[in-house]
Amino acid sequence: MSVLYILVLASIAVAAFFLAAYVWSVRNDQFEDNKGAALRMLQDDEPTKQ
């Protein structure tokens, strides 16, 4: 099953990629505010004066 070598290497590479992405996102304050976006989309933007 030579495919196993490919799969093991690929698994490690993918895992490393995701770990790096996660570490980057935390360090980059990506998880700072997890309320604002969900609230803002509820507001309608009808003109203030008709």
Partner 1 sequence: MDNTLQTEKFYYDNKIVKWFAYATILWGLVGMLVGLLAALQLVFPVLNLNTAATSFGRVRPVHTNAVIFAFVGNGIFMGVYYSLQRLCKARMFSDALSKLHFWGWQLIIVCAAVSLLAGYTTGKEYAELEWPIDILITLVWVTFGINMFGTIIKRRERHLYVAIWFYIATFVTVAMLHIVNSWEIPFTWMKSYSWYAGVQDALVQWWYGHNAVAFFLTTPYLGVMYYFLPKIANRPVYSYRLSIIHFWALIFLYIWAGPHHLLYTALPDWAQSLGTVFSVMLIAPSWGGMLNGLLTLRGAWDKVREDPVLKFIVVAVTAYGMATFEGPMLSLKNVNAISHFTDWTIAHVHVGALGWNGFLTFGVLYWLIPRIFKTNLFSQKLANWHFWIGTLGIVFYAVPMYWAGFMQSLAWKEFTPEGQLKYQFLETVTQMRPFYMMRSIGGTLYLLGAIMMTYNLIKTIRAGKAVNDEAAEAAPLAKTYVEHSGSHWHRWIERRPMQMMVLSLIVVGIGGLIEIVPTFLVKSNIPTISSVKPYTPLELQGRDIYVREGCYTCHSQMVRPFRSEVARYGEYSKAGEFVYDHPFQWGSKRTGPDLARIGGKYPNSWHFNHMYEPSSMSPGSIMPSYPWLFENDIDTAVMGAKIRAMQTLGVPYPEGFDKVANVELMKQAESIKQNLAGDKIEIKSNREIIALIAYLQRMGTDIKLEQKATTASNN
Q: Contact residues for partner 1 (CB under 8 A)?
A: 1-4, 6-7, 10, 14, 25, 28-42, 44-48
Rg, C-alpha atoms of the chain: 21
Return the number of other C-beta atoms located less than 10 Å from residue 10's C-beta.
10
For partner 1, give the closer residue by CB, 7 or 23: 7
Q: Which pair of tokens denotes residue 11?
A: 């698994």
Contact in structure between 31 and 25 (CB atoms under 8 Å): yes
CB of 35 to partner 1, least distance (A): 7
CB of 37 to partner 1, least distance (A): 5
For partner 1, give the closer residue by CB, 10 or 19: 10
